[in-house]
Structure formats: structure tokens, C-alpha cells
Structure 1
Amino acid sequence: MSAGSGAARDETIDHTAPPTRTGLRRLLGAVVLDTRPLRVAPFRRLWASTAVTAIGSQLTAVAVPKQVFDLTGSSGYVGLSGAVALVPLLVFGVWGGAVADAVDRRRLLLVTNTGLAVTSALLWLQAAVGLGSVWVVLALLGLQQAFFAVNQPTRSASIARLVPVEQLPAAAALGSTVFTFGAVFGPLLAGALLPAVGLSTLYLADALALCLALWSVWRLPPLPPLDSAPRRAGLRDVADGFRYLATRGVLLASFLADVIAMVAGMPRALFPEMAERSFGDPPGGGSALGWLYAAIPLGALLCGLCSGWLSRVSRHGVGVTAAVVAWGLAMVGFGIAPSLPVAAGCLAVGGAADMVSMVFRNAILQAAATDEMRGRMQGVFTVVVAGGPRLADLMHGTVAAAVGTRWAASGGGVLVVLLMVLSVVLLPAFWRYRAPTGADH
């Protein structure tokens, strides 16, 4: 009798446990970050190269504007650094995409990663010897951005060769999540390290991380063009890319959405001045500066860790629109925030919205462009994503010098909302856009 009761209990447990575990797995799968692309070894290596440099790159992203502000005492010069970085992004971003379509993408990644490491080492050297020239800093920043402008579209254009089309939103979320992980802890680490080891060490850490990333890139498989043998990338190829883009209204609209969000609403050029004059940082830098730089990526990171649901959303146009409007409202809140915690909270909400927008925009680009054009489209994407904030640096720095930082930040947020609503009215096809299925692709 006792044995029979035990058997009955065991049978009951065996019968009910699997559905419970299955239900839990389904719940977690609907919420937690989708890691399926990491099962693909080449993508995992590409992702790992981003992970290694995630924190280091953000140390430099804090160090450059901080050094410029220390040398000049002006947010206007910090904004000028954005303009200096914008020129190589515009030139080499588009051309770099054409190169990525014409040569083996793995080789191009190796060359540009090496260039990024060398320029970070030179930034460290000028800071370590106390050169004290803002123009040297700006020149090295421009050179670094030229390498970045070729590296980024090459890296992004490789993804669709490595994972299935239905996993593209998940792959985009994985890449952005690891980058934003670094963007959270990099600025916080920078704020802690600045008083202890000095600004030059931040550049050195970035250079070392870039050297380590070369190993992951080296282990990628060859990624030559699918349509033909490697060829030269000239102005005709660049022009072909723009003609192709002109026929893809949804791609144009997705780029426009990011231009609106970043150019009108990215207030990062104001962070050094606001950290010191609004939130009480000492002149040499401190925790407020770190929190301001970390807040946007912190919100993006938290959203990325809970991004499993994004793979199940088919209305990508609606998703981008709602996310950009949410970003604008968050920047309004940041501009009028009375304290550092409230300001950081608004920036974090904006970061979560930007993560949603980025995932859907990247998925639209990867799915809508053919492989022979994907590098050039990623080049335009890089110009928009990286160049937009540079224009914002110039605009916000200039406006802040005239009317103050709070008006510059909150006014930009209002402009984002108004422009995004207007763009949807004028481009209704983007609002109606749905993601293709694997069969469609």
C-alpha cells in the first residue's frame, strides 16, 4: 500500500511538472533577452568583439568631451567636437559602406579595428605627456571617427550573413544590449577613475580593449561579396547606394525617425556643464558626470535585458514612432528636472525608448536591403546613428550658450515630438510597415 501510494505520487509529479516548466520557459522567452543568435558561432565571435570593447569605448566617449571642456571651459567647444567628428562620419560612413560591399568584410574589420586601437593609443599619449592642445584632441577624434565610420557599417552588414532573418531583431537587441552594458558601466567607471588615475588612463584602457577585440575578429570566417569577386569601391558604387535608397521609402522613413530623435533631442553636449554647474560636481569631474553619461545606456540596457517581446512585434513602423515620441517626452523631463536623480531617471526612460527604436530600425534595414547593398545601407545608417548626435552636440552646445542648458534640453524634446508626429502624417506607409516573415524573405 505504501509502495503504491509512492508510485501514485511519483506519477503525479511526472505528469504535472513538465507543463509547469514549459509555461515558465514560455513566460521567460516572451520577456527575457532572446539569445538564439549566440548559438551561431560566427555571430557569437562578432558579438564578443563588441562586448570586449564596450566599456573601453565609453571611457573614451567620456574622456574626449571632458578633456575639451577642461582645456576650454566652454560647452560651445564641446559642441564643436561633435562637428569635427561629424565630417569623417559623413564622408567615410557612406564610402565605408561601399567598401564593405566590395571586399571581404572580415579583412576590413581587422584593418579598421587596428586603426581604432592606434588612435586611442595616440589620445592616451597626448594626455599622458600633458600636451594641452584642444586641436590635437579634435584631430585625433576626427581620425578615430573615420576608422569607426568604416568599421561600423562593415560590422552591421555582416550580421545578416550569419543569422536567419527571423532572428535579426534578436541579434540587434543582443548587440545593443552588450554595447549599452558598457555604456552604463563605462561612464560610471570613468567618473570613479578620473579623480584617482587621471584622464589619460581612460584612453589607455580603450586602446587595450581594442587590441583584445582583434582576436575575436580574426576568428571570423571570410565574408567576401556574394555577387562577385572583390572589386574597387568608387563614387559610382556610392551613388548606386543612394539611388537604391531613394526607391526604399520605408528605409528613408526609418532614417528620418532617428535623425529627428538624435539631432533635435540628444543633449549629451550639455552633460559636462550641467554636471558641474547644475548638479554639484567638482571642477575635475565626479559622479554626476558619470551618472549623466550612464543614464541613457542604463535604460537601454534594462530594456534590452527584457527585450524578448520585441521579436514578436510585427508592426515595426508603429514601434519606431512610439519609441521616438517617448524619447522626446523623456528629454523634456530631463530639461526641467530639479535634481540629479530625476534627471538621470528621465534619461534612463529615454534610453529604453531608444533601444526599442534601434531594434526595430535595424531589423527594417537588415530585412529590406539586399546583401549587395547592405553595406552601403549600413553606411548611411552609421552616418545617421553616429552623425545625428554629433549634429546635436553642435546644436545643443550653441543653443545652451545662448539660452542655458535647461532650455536647450527641454526645447529639443518638444521639437522631437512635433517633428515625429508630422513625419507620420506625411509618410503613412511607414506607420503601416510590417516585418517580413522568413518565407517572405
Structure 2
Amino acid sequence: MPETSHTPRTPRDLPPAVPPTLRTRLTSGLRGGALDTRPLAVPVFRRLVIGQGAAFVGTMVTGVTIPVQVYALTRSSLAVGLTGLAGLVPLVVFGLYGGAIADRFDRRTLYLASASVTWAVTLALLFQALADLRSVPLILALVAVQAGAFAVSSAARGAIIPRIVPAPLIPAANTLYFTVGNVGQVAGPLVAGVLISLPNGYCWAYGADAVLFSLLLYSAFRLPSVMPTGSGAVVGGLRSVFDGLRFIAAAPVLWMSFAVDIAAMTLAMPTALFPAAAQLRYGGGVGLLYSAIAIGSVAAGLFSGWIGRVRRQGRALAVAVTAWAAAIALAGTVHQLLAAAVLLAAAGAADLVSSVYRQTILQTYAPDAMRGRLQGVFTVVVAGGPRLGDLRAGAMASATGLGVAWTGSALLCMVVVIAGALLVRPFWRYTVTPAQPGSAARPEAAHQP
């Protein structure tokens, strides 16, 4: 019988890397409001978080540098939005098929190989800056390759985490992972702002990313082999991708968790507007704008001990996404940089909560043999949504101006999320049992038709 979220694991089933002292604390662990750090007692997870944390900083440096460089070359928010579109198709294709591969082969090998491709693209970005090629099509092509590699590595990594930490600690592990990522999203744009301002600043920025990303490669190399388990392991091909999609379509809890995230990212993601807003509205501060959302996420992560105790995770996810959209809408109405940053930080706090619940629902609802495919869909949604949002925001700003593109669309997001959550009853009533934090138990309220 494949391992599912409805089959609790006993101490004998825990990963061998878990120290004995941790095994005795699984049921009693941290219950306060502070960040739950117990998963860091697992050495493999600790190395993964450290390596990924360094990579997050570098990735965000590049993530800020690319749109700033494109805007400097074109003076067009639409061109900045196209950087999101360039990566969308490879993200969808490689996210879905990469998830199927992760359910067939060693996930550690797949993660290491795809991360190496990402690192090579960063070196190519560094080269085009050193050579002063000034080619937007080349930058867009590199963004496309990078997006495909990122999709595969994310699918593999998301399927690895539930295998290297005990099941009761999966919400805490996801919270730690997202918090570390958000620290990178705070530091990365600030570092990018400093490096870009230097002579040959684009070169310094891409070079810093290349150095930091090498730590991720080391952590991936040190991972143990993680082969898929269970009777549902796939044999490859498009059929396996459709099997994963059918599994999601039959589970309202899953597809609705994806739907609210798509709404949040496509309708209420203003990042493509930041270069123009910094120049036209605030007179600078692009680094602070890019960092503000992550600052709020980090603050929320530091006081996130309560997240694993929430039983109605579907309802909590809908509320968090609504709060995100409300804060984004308000941020688009102010003309003071600090006020906008505070509101964006509030949005980031809500985003941290929604991210943890989305990931935890996915990782604990499905059997291990399907986690790669479902994580691939998750990657497409989570990473593809902001790219569509960049395109939507850039196109709307060119046609209607910043106000409608920023605030008007976020208000629409609130309406869509509230209506959808109330209409999809299994999602709104989805509940986990207190005996299995983070597990997708099958209570009557959550699965009634």
C-alpha cells in the first residue's frame, strides 16, 4: 500500500537521519508562537536549507538585476513584463514533465543536474554583461532556459523534503524553508541595489549570484539517494503527467489551493511595476520595494509556531490570500515610499502563511509515488503565476497607468478568492486532525460531496 497522508508514521518509519533525541520530542515539541526550528536537527535538511538560503540571496540578486537591466535598455514596463512571459512556457513544460521524472528516477540526481543548469545560465548572464552585448532577446532566452531548469529542480526538491524530515514536522520544515527563502528575498534586492550602482554593476550582481549558488550545488551533492516509493511509481511519458492532473482534478482541496494562488499571483502581483514606480512615483527605492514583501514574510516566519496548530487549513489559506490582496491594493494607493513598503511587508506576512499551507496540503495529501508530479504542478502554479502577473501588470500599466494595474487588479483578486473559497465547500471545510499536525486526515467535513 503506498504511503499516504492517512497512514501515520511510527518512530520506526522516521528517516534514519533523525537523531534519537529528536524522535522523543516529535509529539511534545515546540508549541509556542516562535519559529519551530526542530527540523534543523535533521542534518540532511539542515544542509539543504543552508545551501538553498545562500542560493536564494543570489537568485534574488539576479531576479532584480534582470528587470532593471531590461528597463534600462528599453525604458518599457511592458518589456519588463515580457521577462515573465519568456519563462512561462518552459516553466509549464518542464514543471509538469520534470515532476513525472521525479516520480521515476533518483530525485537527488535530478535536483543536482537541474541546479547545475541554473548555475550555468547565471554564468551566461555574467558573460553577456561583461561583453556589454545589450541584447534583450538574449536575456529573454537565458531567462527561458533558467525557468525550465528551476521548474525541474523545484519539483525534485519539493518531493525530497517529505522524505528527509518526520511527517509531523513537515509544516515546520516548510515554514523554515520559506522563511530562509524570504530572508534571501530581503537581502538579495538590497545587495542587488548596491551592486548595480557600482561601475559595471550588472557584472558584479551576476557574479555574486554565481558564487552564492555554488553552495546549493554542494548541499545537493551531499543529499542521500531519494528514490520514489509506493505502488504508484510511474514509467514515464505524458500519460504519467495526465495521471497527476487527474488526481488533482478529483481533489477539490488540491485544485482550489492552486486556484487561489493563481488568482493572487496573476491579479495582485505588482513586482513588474516596481522599476517604473520607483522612478516615476517614489524617486528611487527600487531595492526597498523588491525587499518589502520578503521583510514581512520573514517577520511572520519568526512568529510562526502557531501555523502547524491550525486545523482548518483551507479556510486559513483563503483568508491569508485575501489579506495579501488587500494589503497590495492599499500599497498601490500611497505615494510615500515608506508607507508603500510597510503595506507590502504586511502583504508578505500573509503570503508566508498562505505559502506554508499550500505546500503542506500538497505534500501530505498525496502518496509519495505522486509527489513529484504534484510538486511539478505546484511549481508551475507558484512560479508561473507571478510571470503571468508580470505580463498582466506590465500590459495594464502601459494601457491604463500604475493605479489601475496595481490597485484595481488586486481588488478583483479579493472578490475572486472570497467567492471561490465559499463556493468550493470541500476546500472551505477542509480540516486536519490535531493528532497529526500537517497531515491530510480524511474528516467527514472535508470530503463530503
Query: If the length of structure 1 is used for normalisation, what is the TM-score?
Result: 0.90
Q: Is 1:238 the counterpart of 2:235 in the alignment?
A: no
The answer to whether the Cα contact below 8 Å between 2:232 and 2:369 also exists between their aligned partners in 1 is no
Which segment is superposed worse, 38-47 or 301-310? 38-47
Between structure 1 and structure 2, the one with the greater Rg is: 1
Which runs of 5 or more residues in structure 1 are unaligned? 1-25, 282-287
Which segment is superposed worse, 236-245 or 268-277? 236-245
Distance in 2 separating the partners of 1:407 and 1:246 = 33
1:192 match:
194
2:51 match:
49
2:323 match:
326
* CA separation of 1:28 and 1:377: change in aligned 2, threshold 3 A: closer
The answer to whether the Cα contact below 8 Å between 1:103 and 1:231 also exists between their aligned partners in 2 is no
Give the C-alpha shift of residue 413 in structure 1.
Answer: 1.3
The answer to whether the Cα contact below 8 Å between 1:364 and 1:435 also exists between their aligned partners in 2 is no
Q: Is 1:411 the counterpart of 2:419 in the alignment?
A: no
Which runs of 5 or more residues in structure 2 are unaligned? 1-27, 443-449
Q: Is 1:226 the counterpart of 2:226 in the alignment?
A: no
Q: Is 1:271 the counterpart of 2:274 in the alignment?
A: yes
2:102 match:
100
2:11 match:
none
Letter in 2 for 1:154: A
Give the C-alpha shift of residue 109 in structure 1.
Answer: 1.0
State the SS of the aligned residue for 2:306. Answer: helix
Give the C-alpha shift of residue 435 in structure 1.
Answer: 2.2
Distance in 2 separating the partners of 1:102 and 1:237 = 10
Distance in 1 separating the partners of 2:231 and 2:132 = 50
State the SS of the aligned residue for 2:245. Answer: helix
State the SS of the aligned residue for 1:160. Answer: helix
The answer to whether the Cα contact below 8 Å between 1:224 and 1:230 also exists between their aligned partners in 2 is no
Distance in 1 separating the partners of 2:191 and 2:225 = 36
The answer to whether the Cα contact below 8 Å between 1:257 and 1:420 also exists between their aligned partners in 2 is yes
1:344 match:
341
Percent identity over the alignment is: 45
Match of 2:353 among 348, 352, 356: 356
Give the C-alpha shift of residue 212 in structure 1.
Answer: 2.1
Match of 1:217 among 220, 223, 244: 220
Give the C-alpha shift of residue 352 in structure 1.
Answer: 0.4
Question: How many residues are treated as equivalent by the alignment?
Answer: 410
Give the C-alpha shift of residue 227 in structure 1.
Answer: 3.3
Letter in 2 for 1:301: V
Distance in 1 separating the partners of 2:219 and 2:248 = 32
Distance in 2 separating the partners of 1:110 and 1:424 = 38
Distance in 2 separating the partners of 1:62 and 1:92 = 23
State the SS of the aligned residue for 1:190. Answer: helix
Q: Is 1:387 the counterpart of 2:384 in the alignment?
A: yes
Q: Is 1:33 the counterpart of 2:35 in the alignment?
A: yes
Distance in 2 separating the partners of 1:378 and 1:34 = 24
Distance in 1 separating the partners of 2:156 and 2:120 = 19
* CA separation of 1:232 and 1:117: change in aligned 2, threshold 3 A: farther
CA RMSD of aligned residues (A): 1.7
Give the C-alpha shift of residue 231 in structure 1.
Answer: 6.8
Give the C-alpha shift of residue 229 in structure 1.
Answer: 11
- Per-residue CA deviation, residues 277-332 of structure 1 (Å, 9 max, x unaligned), is 11112xxxxxx000000000110011011111111111101110110110111111
The structure richer in helix per residue is 1
2:10 match:
none
Matches within 5 A, 1:53-64: 53-64=55-66
The answer to whether the Cα contact below 8 Å between 2:183 and 2:295 also exists between their aligned partners in 1 is yes
2:429 match:
432
Distance in 1 separating the partners of 2:237 and 2:409 = 38
Give the C-alpha shift of residue 207 in structure 1.
Answer: 1.3
The answer to whether the Cα contact below 8 Å between 1:331 and 1:412 also exists between their aligned partners in 2 is no
The runs of at least 4 consecutive aligned structure 1 residues that moved more than 4 Å come to 26-29, 228-232
1:166 match:
168
The answer to whether the Cα contact below 8 Å between 2:297 and 2:345 also exists between their aligned partners in 1 is yes
